[in-house]
Amino acid sequence: MSGQTLSPAWRLALRFGLRNSRLATVLGLAILFGWLLLALFAPWVAPFDPIAQNTDIRLLGPSLAHPFGTDNFGRDVLSRVIWGARIDLQISVIGVVFPFLIGTCVGALAGYIGGRFDTICMRLIDIILAFPFLVLMLAIMAILGPGLGSFYMAMALVGWVSYARLIRSQILVLKESDFALAAKSLGFGHGRILFRHLLPNAMFGSIVFSMSDAVLVLLNGAAVSYLGLGVQPPTAEWGTMVAEGQSFITNAWWICTFPGLAIVTLAMGFSLLADGVAEHLGERP
Amino acid sequence: MNLARYRFILSRPLQLLPVLFGISMITFVLVRSIPGDPARALLGSRSTPEALIRIRAQYGLDQPLWMQYFYFLKNLLKGDLGQSLLYKVDALKLISTRIEPTLFLVLGSVLLALLIAVPLATVAARNKGGWQDHLIRLFTTAGLGMPAFWLGIMLILLLSVQLGLFPVSGYGRTGWDKLHHMVLPCLTIALALSAVLVRNLRASMLMELQADHATAARARGLSERAIFHRHVLPNSLVPAVNLLAVNIGWLISGTVVIESLFAIPGIGQLLVRGIFTRDYMVVQGVAMVLALATVMVNFLADVLTVMIDPRVNMR
C-alpha cells in the first residue's frame, strides 16, 4: 500500500534479512553437504560394521571407543547413525521426487487444459486432502505391505497434491500472459508452449516448496519406520533405531537420542535452505 | 448477520457432499485393492467351496464392482462399517470406544500449543530483529524438524525417568489420573504444533502492528500495550484458528504416532494395530472416520470465520 515511503529502517531490515537469508542458505547447504559426505563415505568413515552384533559389549555408554555408545545387540550406534544417513537422505530425496514429478504434470495439464479435466483433478485433490496425510499413507501401506518401496509408492500417491495445486495456480496466471500469447501466435504446439514456455516459469514456487517438503517427507519416513512399517531391521535407519532404543530408555538413553538428533539436524538443513532460498527470492511462505 | 451469511453457512454442507462421496470411494477402492479373497479372509483358510459361494452371495461379492460399491454405500449410511476380524465386533462400535482418548489428546495439545505459542509470538513480534526474536526463530526451526516420536521419548527421559513427574505410558482410569497421564503426550504434540503456530502468529502480529487501525489507535494516544492487547492480538488469532483447522489433518497424523508411543488406547493406536493384524475393516473405518473429522473441523472453521469476521468474502 505504502510502497513510496521507504523509510531507512525498512531498508535496513531488508538488508539484514538478505544477510540473514544468505546465512541460512549457507548453513543449510553446509549441513546437507556434511550428511551427504558422511552417507557417501559411510564404509570408510564409520568405525564399525553397522549390523555386526557383539553381545560382549551390549548397552555400553558413550566412550572413546564408541562415542555414541552401543545398543542392545552390541552394535556401535555412531556407525549405525552414519550408515543410516544413506537411507534417510534417500528417503528425503526419492520421497520428494516422485510427488514432485506427478504433481507437476497433473497441475500443469489441469491448469493448461482447464474445463472438465481441471474440475476432476481439483475434486480429487480436495478428497485426498480431506484425509489426514499419515492416515491415508498408512492405509495404503497396509495394503502394499511394509518396506521402503511401499513408502515411496504411498508418498507418490498422496504427496503429489500440493505440487499439483502450486503448479496449477501458476499456470493459470501464466497462460494469460503476453509471452504465452506470443508463443501461441507463432504457431507453436500446445506441448511446446506448456513445457518449454509456461512450465519453466511456473516451477520456482514448487522448487522452494520441495525443499521444505523434504523435511516433512523425512519426518514421515522416520515416523513410518518408527511404527515398524518402513525400513525393516536390521538395516540402520534413524526412525527404526529410535524405535529399537525405546525399550531401553531407562538405562541406555544414547540409543534413542543420537539417531533423533541426526533427524533434527538433517531436517534443519533442509528447512534452513528452504527458508534462505524463499527469502532470497522474496516469496516468504 | 445478514441473509448472505446464513445462505453461505447453509449451502456449505452441500459443497461437502462431493468430498464425502469421494472419501467413501477412496476407502472402497483401498479395501478392494487388498490382495486376496475377502470371503476367504472372513471364513478362514479351512472354508468349504459352498460356504465361500454363500458368503460371496451374502456380502454381494459376486456382483459387479459398481453394485458392490452401492452396497458399501448403503451399509455406510446405516452406520455399518463391517466387522473387525480381530475383535469380532462392529468396527464402528470399536472405533467409538476409542474416540475419547484421541479427542482428549487433540484438544489438550491445541490448548497447550496456544498457551506456548501466543506468548512466544508476542515476544518475537514486539522485539522484531532482537535477540529474543532470533532465539524464538531458532526454536521454531528446530521444532519444525523434530520428529514427534523422538521429542516424546526425550520428554519421557527428562520428565518421567529423571524427574519422575509423569507416568511413562498408558491412559489411566479416573479423571485426574487420565489428566496426569495425558500431560506428556499433549505436551509433545503441543511443542511440535507451536513451532508452526509461532511463525504464523508472529507474521500476522507484525502485519497488524503496522495496520491502519493500529496507527489510528496510536494517534488516539493509546499505549503500545493496550494496542497490542485490544487490537493486534484478537485480530491475529483469527488466522491462527484457521491455521489450526488447516493443520487438523497433520494434528491427527501426529496423534497416531504419539498414541503408539505412549500406548494410549485411542483411534490412532487402533489404526496401527489394525494394520499389523491385517484387520482391514478397522483400518478402513478409522481412515473414514478420521477423514470425516478433518472435513468437519475445516467446515466448522469456515463457518466460524464467517461468523466472527465480517470481511471474509463468501465464495
Please indicate, yes or no, if residue B315 is contained in any of the structural domains.
no
Domains of chain A: 43-48+78-281 (1.10.3720.10)
What total number of domains does chain B contain? 2
Predicted pLDDT of residue A5: 44
Residues of A in contact with B148 (CB under 8 A): 219, 223
Predicted pLDDT of residue A16: 53
Q: Do B48 and B113 belong together in one domain?
A: no
Q: Do B67 and B108 belong together in one domain?
A: no
Residue B149 CB partners (closer than 8 Å, separation 6+)? A222, A223, A226, A239, A242, A243, B257, B258, B260, B261
- Look at residue A233 and give its three-state secondary structure: coil
Q: Do B204 and B132 belong together in one domain?
A: yes
From B42, B77, B112, give the residue that closes a domain.
Answer: B77
Output the domain CATH number for residue B159.
1.10.3720.10
- pLDDT tens per residue, range B270-279: 999 888 887 7
Distance (Å) from the C-alpha of residue B197 to the closest C-alpha of chain A? 13
Least confident of A148-152, A205-209, B23-27, B227-231: B227-231
Q: Do B143 and B59 belong together in one domain?
A: no
Residues of A in contact with B18 (CB under 8 A): 123, 126-127
From B48, B77, B106, give the residue that closes a domain.
Answer: B77
Q: Do B129 and B208 belong together in one domain?
A: yes
Q: Is the pLDDT of residue A124 over 50?
A: yes
Q: Do B137 and B69 belong together in one domain?
A: no
Three cell numbers at A184? Answer: 501461441
Please indicate, yes or no, if residue B255 is contained in any of the structural domains.
yes
- Look at residue B80 and give its three-state secondary structure: coil
Predicted pLDDT of residue B315: 46
- pLDDT tens per residue, range A152-190: 999 999 999 999 999 999 998 888 888 888 888 888 888
For residue A232, give the DSSP letter. Answer: P
Predicted pLDDT of residue A6: 46
How does the average pLDDT of chain A come out, rounded? 86
- pLDDT tens per residue, range B37-61: 667 766 776 777 888 788 777 766 7
**Could you give phi then psi for residue B90, rounded to 5 degrees?**
-55, 130
Predicted pLDDT of residue B2: 64
- pLDDT tens per residue, range B190-249: 999 998 889 888 988 888 888 888 888 888 888 888 888 888 888 888 788 888 888 888
Domain that holds residue B39: 12-77
Question: What number of C-beta contacts closer than 8 Å exist between A and B?
Answer: 153
**ipTM value for the complex:** 0.84
- Look at residue A189 and give its three-state secondary structure: coil
For residue A55, give the DSSP letter. Answer: G
Quick one: what percent of chain B has pLDDT higher than 90? 18
Residues of A in contact with B271 (CB under 8 A): 135, 138-139
The partner residue sitting opposite B147, judged by closest CB among A141, A222, A253, is: A222
Residue A214 CB partners (closer than 8 Å, separation 6+)? A92, A93, A95, A96, A270, A274
Q: Is the pLDDT of residue B92 over 90?
A: no
Three cell numbers at B122? Answer: 508476542
Confidence of residue A121 (pLDDT cuts 50, 70, 90): very high
- pLDDT tens per residue, range A224-265: 999 989 888 888 899 999 999 888 888 888 999 999 999 999
Please indicate, yes or no, if residue B314 is contained in any of the structural domains.
no
Widest Cα–Cα separation across chain B:
87
Predicted pLDDT of residue A1: 38
* Higher pLDDT among residues B132 and B56, named by residue: B132
Predicted pLDDT of residue B265: 92
Please indicate, yes or no, if residue B30 is contained in any of the structural domains.
yes
Distance (Å) from the C-alpha of residue B5 to the closest C-alpha of chain A? 23
Classify residue A266 by burial, with Cβ atoms within 10 Å: 0-12, 13-18, 19+: buried
Please indicate, yes or no, if residue B313 is contained in any of the structural domains.
no
Mutate to test the interface with B, among A135, A141, A213, A266 (most CBs of B within 10 A): A135
Please indicate, yes or no, if residue B112 is contained in any of the structural domains.
yes
Distance (Å) from the C-alpha of residue B180 to the closest C-alpha of chain A? 20
Q: Do B29 and B173 belong together in one domain?
A: no
- Asked if A238 contacts A263 with a C-beta cutoff of 8 angstroms, the reply is yes
Predicted pLDDT of residue B232: 84
Q: Do B217 and B184 belong together in one domain?
A: yes
Q: Do B40 and B167 belong together in one domain?
A: no
**Could you give phi then psi for residue B97, rounded to 5 degrees?**
-75, -15
Q: Is the pLDDT of residue B186 over 60?
A: yes
- How many Å apart are CA A60 and CA B75, to the nearest integer? 56
How does the average pLDDT of chain B come out, rounded? 83
Label residues B20-44 b or e (16+ Cβ within 10 Å = b).
bebbbebbbebbeeeeeebbeebee
- pLDDT tens per residue, range A62-107: 888 888 888 888 888 899 999 999 999 999 999 999 999 999 999 9
Q: Do B104 and B59 belong together in one domain?
A: no
* Higher pLDDT among residues B81 and A197, named by residue: A197
Q: Do B208 and B259 belong together in one domain?
A: yes
Q: Look at A131 and B161 and tell me if their CB atoms are within 8 Å.
A: no
Q: Do B66 and B146 belong together in one domain?
A: no
Residues of B in contact with A249 (CB under 8 A): 153, 156-157, 161
Confidence of residue B310 (pLDDT cuts 50, 70, 90): low
Q: Look at B35 and A270 and tell me if their CB atoms are within 8 Å.
A: no
Q: Extract long-range pairs of A156-159: CB within 8 Å, 24+ residues apart.
A: A156/A98, A156/A99, A156/A102, A158/A99, A158/A128, A158/A131, A158/A133, A159/A95, A159/A96, A159/A98, A159/A99, A159/A103, A159/A213, A159/A217
Please indicate, yes or no, if residue B274 is contained in any of the structural domains.
yes
Please indicate, yes or no, if residue B49 is contained in any of the structural domains.
yes
